[in-house]
């Protein structure tokens, strides 16, 4: 099984680029599933039903999210009826939607996708490790799904790494999102789980994590600043391609993927 995961889409230009490229990438990379984090796709803050539908129409099987999932109010009435749009499993009770979905390919292989958000330097969410324990008490690799992908949306690299090791051997892959900067630590953990601390964003890297530079700089200098707005330069698509062994559900390889924009392009060498 081969999975393409694209990191946080930031703004319209990155969104349009991802929508245009996803069908081609799915074919060129011979991917069985495509997953994308969409939580910043609407002007850098949240996502709308129309954007979700366009991303699904381009070939995405599942959309993950994070702390910005509720920024557009209309998503609250959409998410209960679209199970393939996830919000973190450890959002407090009372919020609509789900943080887990199982999708199947044409051959009947089952991929479970889990979306979770961390606790350090983030808002007040339920304990991430407790939430994972609850989730994987009923979702077991090999029994309930042939592969399990986990999007860990969080700020602290140490916390994401701890989660990766905690889930090692129980899931196929743990990939971080949220910081919008691709890390260079893609590897397979000791018990067979593919891991990367952050997949990076799909957005303009001539920016401050996808936003216009000057307003961000002024905020850090504690000067009066306006609202952050999405940088409008040429976007880069960032993500990973993961190969999973059908028999075990564990990872065979993980390769970074980058296309377009300012970052050096990387195309996975596939076996």
The pLDDT score that the predictor gives to residue 259 is: 98
pTM of the model: 0.97
**Strand blocks (E) in the chain:** 2-6, 33-37, 62-64, 100-104, 110-117, 147-153, 173-177, 187-188, 194-196, 237-244, 251-259
Catalytic status, residue 165 = no
- 163 pLDDT exceeds 80? yes
Please pick, among 68, 153, 178, 186, the residue that the annotation labels catalytic: 68
**Strand blocks (E) in 22-118:** 33-37, 62-64, 100-104, 110-117
Mean pLDDT of 21-43: 97
Summarised one tens digit per residue, pLDDT across range 198-237 is 999 999 999 999 999 999 999 999 887 788 999 999 999 9
The label of the residue with tokens 């381009």 reads 58
Summarised one tens digit per residue, pLDDT across range 55-82 is 999 999 999 999 999 999 999 999 999 9
The pLDDT score that the predictor gives to residue 222 is: 86
Task: Tell me the three state secondary structure of residue 139.
Answer: coil
Please indicate whether residue 271 or residue 59 has the higher confidence score (pLDDT). 59
- 89 pLDDT exceeds 80? yes
The pLDDT score that the predictor gives to residue 172 is: 98
The pLDDT score that the predictor gives to residue 271 is: 67
If you average pLDDT over every residue of the chain, what do you get?
97
The CATH code that applies to domain 2-259 is: 3.60.21.10
Mean pLDDT of 111-122: 98
The pLDDT score that the predictor gives to residue 227 is: 87
- 270 pLDDT exceeds 80? no
Cα gap 198→200, rounded to integer Å: 5
């Amino acid at each position: 099984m081969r999975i393409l995961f694209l990191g946080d889409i930031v703004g319209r230009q990155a969104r349009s680029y991802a929508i245009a490229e996803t069908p081609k990438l799915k074919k060129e990379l011979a991917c069985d599933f495509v997953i994308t984090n969409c939580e910043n796709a609407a002007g850098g803050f949240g996502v709308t039903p129309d954007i979700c539908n366009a991303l699904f129409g381009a070939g995405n099987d599942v959309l993950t999210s994070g702390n910005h999932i509720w920024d557009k109010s209309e998503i609250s009435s959409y998410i209960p009826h679209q199970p393939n749009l996830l919000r973190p499993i450890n959002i407090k009770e009372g919020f609509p939607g789900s943080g887990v979905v199982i999708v199947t390919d044409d051959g009947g292989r089952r991929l479970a996708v889990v979306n979770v958000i961390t606790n350090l330097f983030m808002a007040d969410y339920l304990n991430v490790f407790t939430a994972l324990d609850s989730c994987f008490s009923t979702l077991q690799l090999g029994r309930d799904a042939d592969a399990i992908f986990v999007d860990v949306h969080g700020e602290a690299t140490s916390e994401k790494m701890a989660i990766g090791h905690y889930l090692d051997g129980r899931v196929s892959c743990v990939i971080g999102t949220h910081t919008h900067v691709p890390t260079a630590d893609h590897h397979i953990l000791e018990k067979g789980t593919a891991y990367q601390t952050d997949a990076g964003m799909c957005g303009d890297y001539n920016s401050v994590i996808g936003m216009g530079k000057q307003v961000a700089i002024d905020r850090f200098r504690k000067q009066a600043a306006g609202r952050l707005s999405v940088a409008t330069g040429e976007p880069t698509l960032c993500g990973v391609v993961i190969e999973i062994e059908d028999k075990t559900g564990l990872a065979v390889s993980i390769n970074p993927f980058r296309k377009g924009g300012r970052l050096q392009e990387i195309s996975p060498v596939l076996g």
